[in-house]
Amino acid sequence: MGVLIQKHRIQAGLTQEDLAHAAGMTRTHYQQVERGWWKRDQPSNPSLKVLVRIAQQLEVPVGRLLPDGSRLQWQ
């Protein structure tokens, strides 16, 4: 998911800091979402509210930021 968000951010010409602040987040929190990790061995788990805020700033439907569910593997 972070790779998709990063791709849209770059296409929009935004820095991580610009997008984070526009979405009402800290840059550190946004970086964790884009990187996909919260702490070592702990995946990022952004809320729907955070994803919607990011999607709104990128002007894309929130579904475009989500990975294809058919390839996800649950542990």
Write the CATH number of the domain with boundaries 2-67.
1.10.260.40
The backbone torsions φ and ψ at residue 47, rounded to the nearest 5 degrees and listed phi first, read: -75, 165
Res 51: pLDDT: 96
Residue 75 pLDDT: 63
Give the domain ranges of the chain.
2-67
Indicate the burial class of 32 (C-beta count within 10 angstroms; 0-12, 13-18, 19 or more).
buried
Q: Which residues contact 45 (CB under 8 A, 6 or more apart)?
A: 38
pTM of the predicted model as reported, rounded to 2 decimal places:
0.84
pLDDT at 42: 77
What is the enclosing helix (H) or strand (E) of 53? helix 48-58
pLDDT of residue 74: 66
pLDDT tens sequence for the chain (75 residues): 888 999 999 999 999 999 999 999 999 999 999 998 877 777 778 999 999 999 999 999 999 998 777 776 766
Contact 55, 61 (CB under 8 A): yes
Residue 19 token pair: 């997008």
